[in-house]
């Protein structure tokens, strides 16, 4: 099988960047590639380390990374943290396609380096492709691959199911404080169980002292972890908002649809309401903590089965084979 080189130029070992890389690697494996994940370091290491999600990675110097990229037709920089720009310049100069996940990565110095090197760009949401175009950079919108963990929806009659879970970071852009406020007005059986890594500064400034009452800790980066947490509840809550972004997927959305939970999102995420996530179709949108509490306090929606079916249908739009084919098309254009 041919190799596929995925360059991860960032520090986080949890979150969306890691999840995207993992699903892409597994999708490539299903498509007949041998995925090779490389992290940029100061030296080359002759052994692999645990990346999580049943994957391994290798630390290499940027000089070695550039040589690998030039010798591997399927090569992509899957993550570039702006503060690591200097280490990735040779990859940008070699015109190895770069994946842009959200506007937080669109720092002026990064955009200037991309423009200078004419680096091909892949955007994971249409809103980001449009934003990059407004900034003078052409990007190809490619839906990320998602490899499902479950074969079918959960059994809503299971008495062990909790009311709701939230399993993304506890952080500013996740608006976890709204979930905690909703929990404060709900009885124990209707509250949202919180999972995920905690931004200590955010928790200190924005979360009340009793927030840990409903916190269940983080979870290890093992395959299907998010979907398995979602599978334990009727609702999966993600109130993410990102300035200048929205409409498209978050991996927590895909994991909720995979698990068969009813996805609950922030109304602010629905920029147009006509993209991947649609209120009343494959998700329910709430404006604030009051609406979230009212939803969780009330009976399950009459259209629950239709919401779940639509979510699983939307999930097929992120199937591995077409997602990998779209990335191959970007690479072919670069080669031409």
Q: What is the DSSP string of 187-243?
A: -GGGSEEE-S-B-HHHHHHHS-TTGGGGB-------TTHHHHHHTTEEEEEE----T
- The per-residue pLDDT for 322 is 97
Q: Are residues 112 and 232 in the same domain?
A: no
Cα-trace Rg, the chain: 20
Closest by CA to 9, choosing from 62, 80, 99, 73, is 80
- The per-residue pLDDT for 95 is 96
Q: Are residues 21 and 39 in the same domain?
A: yes
CA quadruple 22, 151, 125, 326: dihedral, nearest 10:
70
Query: How many domains, in total, are found in the chain?
Result: 2
Q: Are 263 and 238 in contact (CB under 8 A)?
A: yes
Q: Would you tell me how many other CB atoms lie within 10 Å of the CB of residue 303? A: 14
Is pLDDT above 80 for 288? yes
Question: Do the domain assignments include residue 308?
Answer: yes
- The per-residue pLDDT for 29 is 98
Residue 297's domain spans which residues?
Answer: 162-317
- The per-residue pLDDT for 1 is 87
Question: Do the domain assignments include residue 150?
Answer: no
CATH of residue 256: 3.40.50.2000
Q: Report the C-alpha gap between 249 and 258 in whole angstroms.
A: 13
Question: Do the domain assignments include residue 63?
Answer: yes
Is pLDDT above 90 for 152? no
Handedness of CA 85, 87, 90, 94 (dihedral sign): negative
pLDDT per position as a tens digit, 38-63: 999 999 999 999 999 999 999 999 99
Question: Do the domain assignments include residue 155?
Answer: no
Structure token digits, residue 62: 């940027």
Locate all alpha helices (DSSP H) within the chain, ordered by sequence. Answer: 16-30, 62-71, 85-93, 108-117, 126-134, 176-184, 200-206, 225-230, 251-259, 289-297, 304-315, 320-335
Question: Do the domain assignments include residue 185?
Answer: yes
Q: Are residues 11 and 124 in the same domain?
A: yes
- The per-residue pLDDT for 160 is 85
Q: Are residues 171 and 244 in the same domain?
A: yes
Question: Do the domain assignments include residue 153?
Answer: no
40 sits in which H/E element = strand 34-40
Question: Do the domain assignments include residue 154?
Answer: no
Structure token digits, residue 144: 């990320």
Give the pLDDT mean for 124-141. Answer: 96
Q: What percent of the chain has pLDDT over 90?
A: 93
- CA atoms in the 13 A half-sphere facing the CB of 140: 20
Q: Are residues 327 and 188 in the same domain?
A: no
Q: Are residues 177 and 83 in the same domain?
A: no
Q: Are residues 231 and 99 in the same domain?
A: no
- The per-residue pLDDT for 159 is 78
Q: Are residues 325 and 296 in the same domain?
A: no
Q: Would you tell me how many other CB atoms lie within 10 Å of the CB of residue 127? A: 21
Q: Are residues 236 and 330 in the same domain?
A: no
- The per-residue pLDDT for 83 is 97
The β-bridge partners of 50 are: 56
Q: Are residues 273 and 195 in the same domain?
A: yes
Q: Are 271 and 247 in contact (CB under 8 A)?
A: yes
Q: What percent of the chain has pLDDT over 70?
A: 99
Q: Are residues 331 and 310 in the same domain?
A: no
219 by Cβ neighbours in 10 Å (0-12 / 13-18 / 19+) ranks as middle
Question: Do the domain assignments include residue 12?
Answer: yes
Q: Are residues 225 and 265 in the same domain?
A: yes
Q: Report the C-alpha gap between 28 and 2 in whole angstroms.
A: 10
pLDDT per position as a tens digit, 222-262: 999 999 999 999 999 999 999 999 999 999 999 999 999 99
Is pLDDT above 90 for 333? no
Q: Report the C-alpha gap between 176 and 202 in whole angstroms.
A: 9
pLDDT per position as a tens digit, 155-214: 767 778 999 999 999 999 999 999 999 999 999 999 999 999 999 999 999 999 899 999
């Amino acid at each position: 099988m041919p190799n596929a080189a995925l360059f991860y130029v960032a520090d986080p070992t949890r979150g969306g960047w890691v999840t995207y890389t993992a699903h892409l690697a597994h999708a490539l494996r299903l498509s007949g590639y041998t995925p090779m994940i490389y992290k940029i370091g100061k030296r080359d290491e002759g052994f692999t380390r645990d990346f999580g999600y049943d994957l391994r990675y290798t630390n290499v110097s940027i000089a070695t990374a550039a040589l690998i990229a030039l010798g591997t037709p399927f090569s992509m920089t899957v993550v570039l943290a702006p503060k690591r720009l200097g280490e990735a310049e040779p990859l940008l100069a070699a015109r190895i396609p770069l994946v842009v996940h959200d506007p937080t990565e669109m720092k002026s110095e990064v955009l200037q380096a991309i423009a200078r090197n004419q680096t091909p760009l892949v955007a994971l949401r249409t809103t980001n492709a449009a934003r990059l175009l407004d900034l003078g950079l052409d990007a190809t919108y490619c839906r990320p691959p998602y490899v499902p963990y479950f074969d079918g929806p959960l059994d809503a009659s299971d008495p062990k199911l909790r009311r709701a879970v939230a399993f993304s970071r506890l952080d500013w852009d996740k608006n976890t404080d709204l979930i905690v406020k909703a929990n404060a007005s709900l009885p124990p059986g209707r509250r949202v169980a919180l999972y995920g890594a905690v931004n200590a500064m955010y928790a200190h400034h924005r979360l009340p002292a009793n927030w840990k009452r409903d916190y269940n800790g983080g979870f290890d980066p093992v395959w299907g972890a998010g979907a398995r947490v979602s599978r334990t509840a009727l609702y999966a809550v993600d109130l993410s908002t990102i300035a200048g972004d929205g409409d498209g997927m978050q991996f927590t959305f895909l994991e909720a649809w995979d698990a068969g939970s009813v996805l609950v999102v922030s109304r602010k995420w629905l920029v147009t309401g006509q993209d991947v996530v649609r209120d009343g179709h494959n998700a329910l949108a709430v404006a604030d903590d009051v609406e979230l509490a009212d939803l969780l306090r009330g009976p399950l929606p009459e259209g629950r089965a239709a919401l779940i079916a639509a979510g699983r249908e939307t999930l097929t739009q992120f199937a591995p084979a077409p997602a990998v084919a779209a990335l191959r098309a970007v690479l072919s254009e670069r080669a031409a």
